Structure 1
Amino acid sequence: MKKIVVKFGGSNLRQPQDIDRVINVVQTYNRPLVLVVSAFYGITNALIACVQSAKEGAGTKAALADSRDYTQTLRALKKEILEANIADPKHRAETEKALGLRLDQLERYLTGIHCIGDVPTFVNDAILSYGERLSSLLLTEVLLSRGIKAREALPEDIGLITDGVFGNSACDFTASTASVAQALNGDEIIVVPGFYGVDRDGKTTLFGRGGSDYSAASIARCIGAESLDVWKDVDGFLSADPGSVGAPRSIAQLNYLEAAELSYFGAKILHPRTVEPLFDQDIPIRILNITKPERGLQPYTVINAERTVTRDVVKSVSATDDVAILKLHGPGVGFKPGILAQVTNTLDQHDINIKSVLTAQTAINILLARDHLEAAYAAVAEHHVGGVVEVSKDDQVAIVAVVGDGVLHASGVGNGSDNSNGKGSAIASRALSAALAGGARVNLAAAGASEVAAYMLVHQEDKKLALQLVHAEFFGA
């Protein structure tokens, strides 16, 4: 029987009592599982801050004391969780000792930063993986304390091999599949820390922020899982962020492309890369809500290969302000060969990812993650690209996107209209018209880069307004 890979994120692990919810879910399955777990909520952010503090204060007694204070805080937190979840004093003491050994390792890494005054990339990745390493050990021991047969399996022990890119690696499935499948075979609950794998030299490499989803999907591919079940504290994918619109609709089914684009354009349900390992494997992703135990194992949203064009085409409207524009100005930048190639090569050399590119005769607009803008601006300005007379930057923007199979080709022009015939970008036009008519300030609009999505860039402070206007256009609320 194929196994199910079950992923629990940090939103499921906020308080010591949240462990009970996780245990109840595991018992509901009543079958062997592979559990992939994130760090407890806020731990990774705290580790990032701790690394930065240690780096900035390298060699100072105050910074060293801060690092030790943080590891002591972690020890206290884990002890609190153990006391709330493991009744047997002997088992609790043994688990506390095992957690202490991992925290000792973390403290040694942090102390090393002070000694060398720098944070090598492999050290940074190793440190940030400790939130997940602590979660997996703790959850395994709690399962055992409840009489559930379980074992922990670390990525370095199961052979989850990556391409070796620190900070944003990808799984090497050729190197990983056989070893992972063999290591995760068995009739017990197997708990794997998410977020990281190891390169061929055994060094920890992270799958990027939020990468535990990608970890789980990679493992699901390696073992040929029945499904990847992702437990959240929300009702799956919705027609919009419930914090922005009053009554968003639940989405029962998405195809892989739609889910990827929604995640890319701001939906927080999945990491944007989650579908990559599963896209050609016919392994469904099921989104369930851990706060609704009455639903049992019934998912709110199923993501699979099925392509369905709904009557109104658009399935969801999403938004993000994690975007900025790097603009290259010049009278012929859109015509002169080689300019874009030079710029993209320069950005690649600085490990800066491009989200999208929109060109005109006198300007090239490059969309980037907000925190990459300054580095990108400096790199391009220093490179002195021929034909570019000015480089400007704008971080006061946000993206609003409409997503749904058929967005690129549907021709509907109003609510309830017949979308079955014709071609063009009528859906994108409706979205743009709705935003402009309602007073949202739009900088740019684009359709055609994806067959299931179209988007516009608006002033950052108009993000919520534009989202509401576009959602009302397609969903009437």
Structure 2
Amino acid sequence: MAYNVIKFGGSNLKDKDGIKKVFKAICNYEKPLVIVVSAFYGMTNYLIESLELSAQGKLDIDHFIQNINNQKLAIIVENISNENLIFEFKQELDKRLNMLKGFLLEIKNLNDVPNSIYDEILSYGERLSSLVLSFVLKQADIQNVEAFPEEIGLITDGEFKNATVDFELSEHEIPKNFESSKTYIIPGFYGVSKEGKTTLLGRGGSDYSAASIAACLNAESLDLWKDVKGFLSADPKIVFDAVNIESLTYAEAAELAYFGSQILHPRTPEPLVEKKIPIRIFDINDSINGLHPLTIINGKETVCDGIIKSVSYSDNFGILKLHGSGVGIKPGILAKSTVELDKAGINIKSVITSQTTINILLSQDDLLKVKKANLLKDIHGINQFEFISNISLIAAVGEGLTSRYGVAGRLFTAVARKGINIQIISFGASSVAVYFIVNQVDRNETVREIHEEFFVKQDCCCDACV
């Protein structure tokens, strides 16, 4: 029997009502499951703050640990009436919090945060979530096994903070550690190196870890339970008549996630493409009504009449402009720049060059790092640096976008009608996406104009594109 791998995010686990919805969702399946969980809402940020304060000697570690203990215990008491289960939970919670306390004390003594300990500490958000959910299900007579990534063999390349799953090793190990008759609860967000070191899979990486486990088990599906109505044609806070998208390809979903959609981690589709395992998006608020996916992501290419299926955006981009006569064609300038940025742990999002300017897209945080450290000052041929923030990256996504005549013209004409200036355009880097950059103050109007052009005037309804 093929497993369904299901994943619940932190927003699903933030209170008693959320946990009840999770329980209802699990009951819909009526079969053993592999369940992957994120940290409780806000816990990852709380842990990051704690390790930073501990390194400065400013954290009351006992008080911090007691706060977490009280939070988890309150949730258990709200959801469990069996005194024996509560006692058993307390014992296991004490063990994990003592381990967490030990890592915080180590940081305090070092006055520093080594990457290995950083990853260990942040993994405790998920380790505590899996503990809570496991006991809540036991109270409801749903027998389950809590299984850690280090126990099942989710092996990574060993890179701290942003590891990649080693599928050659993991596909060999993981199936050996599962029995089809049992339900498993697994903390997401991390795996282990070949040496047994905890390595995080990147911020928001629980989706990716769930997808990786699904691929290794040849699962029937990866089901992501979210507190949103699946993928929509635009952000409903900006476009009030945004419509549901019932079907996306892996590539479309990955591009939407990369360019600002918060529904899934951009790497989630990656492990599933070759094995054609579908991703199904469910609304946790509708869990009482059975299994009704709002969006299905698979390898089936569907082309809407209007081509564009969704308009996404992100405000977390900045532009590093490297000016100089001939920087775009002089050998070595771009290579030296990217090497220096890589050494500093700077992730390059995109590069667009011209004769006199190299435009490098970075996250806002990384742009600030480059500016503060003046990282590229010694590269010959660059005579001016420009740092541009307060921008929005707008992405239009859909199969056939780069091959259908006239789509780009309609898109940019729609923006021009409102007198909105486009700073940079990238067309053709992906076969399913075009993106461009506008001033942040123009973001909402840009999204609305594109949506008006391709969904209202086109009379397109993406929930029919299946």
Please indicate the TM-score interval, normalised by the length of the shorter structure.
over 0.9
1:381 and 1:391 in contact (8 A); partners too: no
Distance 1:436 1:69, change over 3 A: farther
Which letter does structure 2 place at the counterpart of 1:177? Answer: E
- Partner residue in 2 for 1:172: 166
- 1:429 is the counterpart of 2:424: no
TM-score by length of 2: 0.95
Query: 2:181 and 2:281 mapped to 1: Cα distance?
Result: 24
Q: Does 1:90 align with 2:84?
A: yes
Please, which of 280, 298, 309 is the counterpart of residue 315 of structure 1?
A: 309
- 1:250 counterpart = 2:244: yes
Deviation at residue 376 of structure 1 after TM alignment = 2.9
Residue in structure 2 matched with residue 287 of structure 1 by the alignment = 281
**Partner Cα distance (2:180, 2:252) in 1:** 34
**Native 8 Å contact 1:17 1:85 kept in 2:** no
Moved more, 67-76 or 134-143: 67-76
Q: Which has the larger displacement, 71-80 or 123-132?
A: 71-80
In structure 2, C-alpha distance between the alignment counterparts of 1:77 and 1:42, rounded to whole Å: 12
Q: Counterpart of 1:209?
A: 203
Contact 2:25 2:288 in 1 (8 A): no
- Residue 380 of structure 1 deviates from its aligned partner by 6.1
Q: In the TM superposition, what are the counterparts of 1:439-450 in structure 2 within 5 Å?
A: 439-450=419-430
Q: Among the aligned pairs, what percent are the same residue?
A: 46
RMSD between aligned residues? 1.4
For residue 280 of structure 1, report the CA deviation from its aligned partner.
Answer: 1.2
Q: Which amino acid aligns with 1:240?
A: A
Q: Which residue in 1 is equivalent to 2:461?
A: none
For 2:431, give the aligned amino acid.
E
Runs ≥4 residues deviating over 6 A: none
Question: Match of 1:185, as an amino acid?
Answer: E
- SS of 1:272 mapped into structure 2: coil
Tell me whether 1:461 sits opposite 2:452 in the alignment: no
Structure 1 position 384, deviation (Å) = 2.0
TM alignment of 1:65-464, pairs within 5 A:
65=60, 67-377=61-371, 381-411=375-405, 426-464=406-444
C-alpha contact (below 8 Å) 1:406/1:452 kept by paired residues: yes
Normalising by structure 1, report the TM-score.
Answer: 0.93
Partner of 2:17: 17
- Structure 1 residue aligned with 2:453: 473
SS of 1:181's equivalent in the other structure is helix
Measure the CA separation in 1 of the matches of 2:409 and 2:371. Answer: 32
Q: Distance in 2 between matches of 1:153 and 1:95?
A: 16
C-alpha distance in structure 2 between counterparts of 1:273 and 1:372, whole Å = 20
Asked whether the 8 Å contact 1:82–1:96 carries over to 2, the reply is no
Name the structure, 1 or 2, with higher relative contact order (CA <8 Å, separation 6+). Answer: 2
| Structure 1 residues not aligned, in runs of 5+ | 412-425
Q: What is the distance in 2 between the residues matched to 1:115 and 1:465?
A: 52
SS of match in other structure, 1:129: helix
Q: How many residues align?
A: 457
Structure 1 residue 445 displacement after superposition: 1.4
Change (3 A) 1:409 1:69: same
**1:99-143 CA-partner distances (Å, limit 9, x unpaired):** 121111111111111111000000000000101000101111111
Query: 1:294: how far off?
Result: 4.9
Contact kept, 8 Å, 1:325 with 1:395, in 2: the verdict is yes
Tell whether the 8 Å contact from 2:337 to 2:376 is kept in structure 1 after alignment.
no
Is the 2:340–2:375 contact (alpha carbons within 8 Å) kept by the matching residues of 1? Answer: no
Cα distance in 1 for partners of 2:372, 2:42 equals 32
Separation (CA, whole Å) in 2 of partners of 1:338 and 1:382: 13
1:383 and 1:174, CA in 2 relative to 1: closer, same or farther beyond 3 A?
A: farther
Supply the AA of the counterpart residue of 1:455. Answer: Y
Q: CA deviation at 1:295?
A: 4.0
Residue by residue over 1:229-248, the C-alpha shift from the partner in whole angstroms, topping out at 9 and shown as x without a partner, is 00001111000111111111
- Cα distance in structure 1, aligned partners of 2:287 and 2:271: 29
Is the 2:123–2:200 contact (alpha carbons within 8 Å) kept by the matching residues of 1?
A: yes
In 2, Cα distance between equivalents of 1:307 and 1:332: 42
Letter in 1 for 2:447: L
- Equivalent in the alignment of 1:418: none
1:64 and 2:44 aligned: no
CA distance in 1, matches of 2:372, 2:402: 36
